[in-house]
Chains A and B, each alone.
Chain A
Amino acid sequence: MDDGTLVERAVATRDVAAFSALARLHQSKVRGLLLRLTRGDHAAADDLAQETFLEAWRGIGNFRGESAFATWLYRIAYSRFLMQARKRKPDEQLGDWDVPMASGESGSHARIDLERAMAKLTAAESAALTLSFALGLSNSEAAEAMDIPLGTLKSHVLRGREKLKAILGEPS
């Protein structure tokens, strides 16, 4: 069953089973985005992902289908992350990506290097790159997910790419 049908069922009859199917379809990407934003903190990323889906369930009646369901979820996830980041005390800042990848998580050296480099970007740059590349959103969809103008999204992508090239180009 596709997103549209499941969303329709979840909205029309508050069908928990339909929402559960939607959550199963999208959980991996939402958790992946949040894992990057929290710089490899699996527990924090999963807590935020739980909050994201719970908020989506509460507000699913407001989903008008003007964007893809996934884009709507990423928007909630990113705003949840920002809200939590604002609440964080200065001594609780996220560290470097130092959590080893679980076995089976395609832990090639290049991938680990990329995650460590991503951790040096700002949250906005990291989110812009992840949404536009790994999650395959168009620029306008990514801008919508981050609730920023298209021009700002492009700036984040450009700046993030330049920083990554510089970091990954450094001799280790």
Chain B
Amino acid sequence: MNDMELDALLNAPLPERDAGDFSVLLMERVTQHEARPARILSWISAGVMVAVFAAACLFGASAIGHVDPHMNDMLIPGTLILLSLLLSYVVSEAARA
């Protein structure tokens, strides 16, 4: 094979591919990607809301003297707050990945 024959082969355009299914799938993925921040924000908001609610319950209970900071009463609301904050953190880390 000489240079001219090789050039002719190499210069031939690549086969044309139909955009159909490929474009549809791509646009679905782009749309999902665009919806991601809103989805993540809603998860974070839910986490923060639970944390605030648990903190409010704790504050209310302690204000009327039903919670002794040294007793096990602190355990459930405290765990709830921690779990909520942990959930928010995990979701925000996932968003960054």
Instruction: Provide the residues of chain A in CB contact with B14, threshold 8 Å.
Output: 28-29, 32-33, 35-36, 130, 134-135
Stretch from A19-27, A63-71, A79-87 that touches the partner: A19-27
For B61, the chain A residues whose CB sits under 8 A away are none
Taking residues whose C-beta sits less than 8 angstroms from the other chain, chain B's interface range is 20 to 34
Instruction: Name the interface size band of chain A.
Output: 35 or more
A129 to B10, CA, bound (A): 7
Whether, in the assembled complex, B23 has its beta carbon less than 8 Å from a beta carbon of chain A, the answer is yes
Q: Which of A27, A33, A111, A169 contacts B22 (CB 8 A)?
A: A27
Q: A23-B26, A28-B19, A50-B26 are in contact. Are A161 and B13 (CB under 8 A)?
A: no
B12 and A134 form a contact (CB under 8 A): yes
* Total A-B pairs, Cβ < 8 A: 82
CB-CB contacts below 8 Å: B9-26 with A? 9-17, 19, 22-23, 25-26
Contact B1 A169 (CB under 8 A): yes
CB-based contact A20/B25 at 8 Å: no
Q: What distance in Å separates the Cβ of B20 from its nearest Cβ neighbour in chain A?
A: 10
